[in-house]
Amino acid sequence: MRRREFITLVGGAAAASAIWPRVARAQQPAKVPTIGFLGASTTSAWSHWSSAFVQRLRELGWIEGRTVAIEYRWAEGRSERYAAIAAEFVRLDVDVILTVGGAVPASKQATSVIPIVFAIAVDPVGTGLIASLARPGGNVTGLSMQAADLAGKRLEFLREVLPGLSRLAIMANVGYQASVVEIGEVQAAARKLALEVEVLEIRRAEDIAPAFGRLKSSTQALYVCGDALVTANRARISTLALGARLPTIYPDRAFLEAGGLMAYGANNADLFRRAAEYVDKILRGAKPGDLPVEQPTKFELAINLIAAKAIGLAVPPMLLARADEVIE
């Protein structure tokens, strides 16, 4: 080989080796955005909701494992886990956190930078999660479950299946601020209907069975306030309510799948679908504080006739006709 040819060959190889790292870097796929999914309850309790969230993301072009990554963490109804999970998401440097109202305070304490979307929150303004529905401000936005007379409507449905209702029990996790607020709303609605009320306070799963043991023999019906602890233990609560032959109304239809009698509330799967739309906007550059908090426009009544039969309760045909879903 001639000297000139050798020099040309070596020079070309050197130039190629200098260019190659830049080319390799340019060909590396961009990092896909990551969603931190902070599930307040359990995988099974939230399966319909998380599936609805993922499906809506897919419709919007975010395919899990390809164009977006989702890190799932489950608190299993234990609010003391929220802070550790939120801190882990900060360490992972996720692009957005998806959760519910009860976990927002711990998430806000962990980060004021990472956007936080709540799929469900009860009175987010009153509980201090956001500044206002129109302009939430900060790094938080989502969907509010606030409704003017939700407690009153639920009591009306109980009265329809029990026209002689005079004594009611309320079961609620008093460690959750929104449930404490709801207790007050139920008590106010009960006074208008001249109902006597007893409150069954719980703070952990181990409190549920003893709470049923404290029920007075004159108690005729049960109102269950929703939160992550209650949702995680919905099968236990429904079983104990059936065993006590207590007509019970729950916050959403997931409880009927566990044997509950009646539920009235927003469609939570739909709220999680709408939460995916917030996440989509944020991943495309929107600021959470500029995205108005939305509220449900429709509330659904579901009735489980299997549970009604188990406790010997005849549901009025007029009420069945008004129900959005009847389980037979």
Q: Read off the pLDDT of residues 66-97 as tens digits, 9 standing for 90 and up.
A: 999 999 999 999 999 999 999 999 999 999 99
**Token representation of residue 183:** 């207790």
Given pLDDT bands bounded at 50, 70 and 90, which one contains residue 148? low
Assess if residue 185 is contained within a domain.
Answer: yes
Assess if residue 17 is contained within a domain.
Answer: no
Strand ranges in 122-166 using DSSP code E only, listed in sequence order: 140-144
Of 208, 199, 169, 231, whose CA–CA distance to 44 is shortest? 231
Give yes or no: residues 117 and 192 share one domain.
no
Classify each residue of 79-115 as buried b or exposed e, where b means 16 or more C-beta atoms within 10 Å of its C-beta: bebbbebbeebeeeebbbbbbbbbbbbbbbebbeebb
Q: What is the pLDDT of residue 8?
A: 46
Given pLDDT bands bounded at 50, 70 and 90, which one contains residue 146? low
CATH of the domain at 72: 3.40.50.2300
Give yes or no: residues 140 and 257 share one domain.
no
Give yes or no: residues 286 and 236 share one domain.
no
Residue with tokens 């303004």: 125
Of 174, 166, 232, 228, whose CA–CA distance to 200 is shortest? 174
Give the pairing of strands 96-99 and 69-74.
unpaired
Considering its fold, how many domains does the chain have in total?
2
How many other CB atoms sit within 10 Å of the CB of residue 72?
A: 13
d(CA 324, CA 307): 17
226 is in which domain, residue-wise?
150-266+299-327
φ and ψ at 141, to 5 degrees?
-160, 175
Give yes or no: residues 48 and 186 share one domain.
no
Give yes or no: residues 227 and 80 share one domain.
no
Tell whether the model's pLDDT for residue 114 goes beyond 60: yes
Highest-confidence segment of 3-12, 21-30, 50-59, 125-134: 50-59
Give yes or no: residues 188 and 259 share one domain.
yes
At position 129, the amino acid (one-letter code) is L
Give yes or no: residues 42 and 142 share one domain.
yes
**Token representation of residue 261:** 């009698």
Give the pairing of strands 325-327 and 221-224.
unpaired
Q: Read off the pLDDT of residues 280-291 as tens digits, 9 standing for 90 and up.
A: 999 999 999 999
Which residues pair with residue 263 across a beta bridge? 250, 302
Give yes or no: residues 185 and 102 share one domain.
no
Exposure of 182 in the CB half-sphere (CA atoms within 13 A): 29
d(CA 256, CA 254): 5
Give yes or no: residues 167 and 316 share one domain.
yes
Give yes or no: residues 107 and 243 share one domain.
no
* 3-state helix vs strand vs coil in the chain, percent to 5: 45, 20, 35
Q: What is the mean pLDDT of the chain?
A: 90
Give yes or no: residues 259 and 273 share one domain.
no
d(CA 27, CA 94): 23
Assess if residue 161 is contained within a domain.
Answer: yes
Given pLDDT bands bounded at 50, 70 and 90, which one contains residue 308? very high
d(CA 151, CA 265): 10
Assess if residue 165 is contained within a domain.
Answer: yes
d(CA 246, CA 81): 32
Give yes or no: residues 155 and 142 share one domain.
no
